[in-house]
């Protein structure tokens, strides 16, 4: 009997050690990944229709995370949830939680305008305001109370440079933004988000209507921007995800099917559905 008691004690102690190790290990993993956004058990509904099913995903800081999948998979909904743009839709309802730097974005104390400054968004169709190039970029900072022309000029130059557009427009900043080409307009929209000094940039199929050269310029600027920002993109095709992503998440009909590094998902995906989608067998 004594032996059994000693064995039980030993097992209990061993179990405690394992639990302790697991806790340390988990912390280590989170530290290594440097999670910026953590999505926990997210369910999203439009009235009775469920668009996202119990989604869990960690988005690491200073990396490009691509969310891929066929249309109607809940990708746009997911992106719009990350800065609560979905709140604008009265039929929309979210359950679960999204943590930005460990804090819930759904908390009562959260200032949604400030959240959308921290988590900026670029849409599929470039939508410059019908004003000058300079004023498009300065619009957000002005709303935030910045009036000094010199300070605004500095922000405009820095934002346009980061979006790889400065050299092309520096001599015509007072010209209408609508006079720019489609690719330039989209980079202007990226610059407009950057002018607000965000932490996360969401891009919903930002190159869907652009030519290969403009697409390449936006992709190059995104790769540079990840050094300072966290980027979540819904690419317009699988090849773009392959070119620019550090991590890839595959969604299908509201479910997160698979998530992993670019190399793992694009070389040996674990799920058959991921393989079939990225190889073009459906979608």
- When the beta carbons of 157 and 246 are compared against another protein, the nearer one is 246
Closest distance of CB 216 from another protein, Å? 15
Stretch that binds another protein, among 25-33, 57-65, 161-169, 234-242 (CB under 8 A): 234-242
Please, which residue, 134 or 266, has the CB nearer to another protein?
Answer: 266
Task: Tell me how far, at minimum, the Cβ of 35 lies from another protein, in Å.
Answer: 26
From candidates 242, 246, 260, 273, binder to another protein by CB under 8 A: 242
Contact indicator for 99, 42 with CB cutoff of 8 Å: no
Q: What is the total count of residues that contact another protein (CB under 8 A)?
A: 15
**Pairing state between β 119-122 and 200-204:** parallel
Concatenated DSSP letters for 177-193? GGGS-HHHHHHHHHHHH
Please tell me whether residue 280 binds another protein under the rule CB under 8 A.
yes
Let me know: does 69 contact 277? Beta carbons within 8 Å.
Answer: yes
Q: Does 239 bind another protein (CB under 8 A)?
A: yes
Cα–Cα dist 248/240, whole Å: 11
Q: Closest CB to another protein among 4 and 282?
A: 282
- Interaction of residue 266 with another protein, rule CB under 8 A: yes
| Buried residues in 79-111 as b, exposed as e (16+ CB within 10 A) | bbbbbbbbbeeeebebebebbbeeeebbeeeee
By CB under 8 A, is residue 281 in contact with another protein? yes
Q: Does 268 bind another protein (CB under 8 A)?
A: yes
CB of 241 to another protein, least distance (A): 10
Torsion angle of C-alpha atoms 253, 256, 257, 259, degrees rounded to 10? 150
List contacts with another protein (CB under 8 A): 238-239, 242, 266-269, 274-275, 278-283
């Amino acid at each position: 009997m004594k032996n059994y008691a000693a064995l039980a004690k030993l097992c209990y102690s061993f179990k405690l050690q394992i639990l302790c190790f697991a806790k340390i290990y988990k912390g280590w993993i989170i530290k290594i990944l440097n999670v910026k956004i953590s999505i926990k058990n997210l369910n999203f509904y439009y009235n009775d229709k469920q668009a996202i099913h119990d989604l869990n995903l960690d988005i690491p800081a200073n990396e490009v995370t691509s969310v891929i999948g066929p249309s109607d998979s809940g990708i746009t909904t997911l992106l719009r949830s990350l800065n609560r743009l979905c709140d604008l839709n009265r039929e929309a309802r979210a359950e679960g939680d999204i943590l930005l730097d460990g804090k819930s974005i759904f908390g009562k104390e959260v200032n949604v305008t400030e959240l959308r400054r921290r988590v900026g968004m670029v849409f599929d169709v470039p939508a410059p305001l019908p004003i000058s190039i300079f004023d498009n970029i300065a619009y957000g900072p002005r709303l935030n109370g910045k009036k000094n022309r010199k300070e605004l000029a500095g922000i405009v130059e820095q934002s346009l440079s980061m979006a790889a557009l400065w050299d092309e427009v520096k001599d015509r900043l007072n010209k209408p933004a609508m006079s720019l080409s489609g690719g330039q307009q989209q980079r202007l929209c990226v610059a407009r988000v950057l002018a607000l000094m965000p932490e996360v940039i969401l891009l919903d199929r930002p190159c869907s209507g652009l030519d290969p050269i403009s697409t390449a310029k936006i992709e190059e600027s995104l790769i540079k921007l990840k050094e300072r920002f966290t980027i979540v993109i819904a690419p317009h095709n699988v090849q773009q995800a392959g070119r620019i992503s550090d991590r890839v998440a595959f969604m299908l009909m509201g479910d997160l099917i698979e998530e992993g590094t670019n190399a793992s998902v694009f070389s040996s995906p674990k799920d058959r559905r991921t393989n079939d989608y990225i190889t073009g067998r459906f979608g």
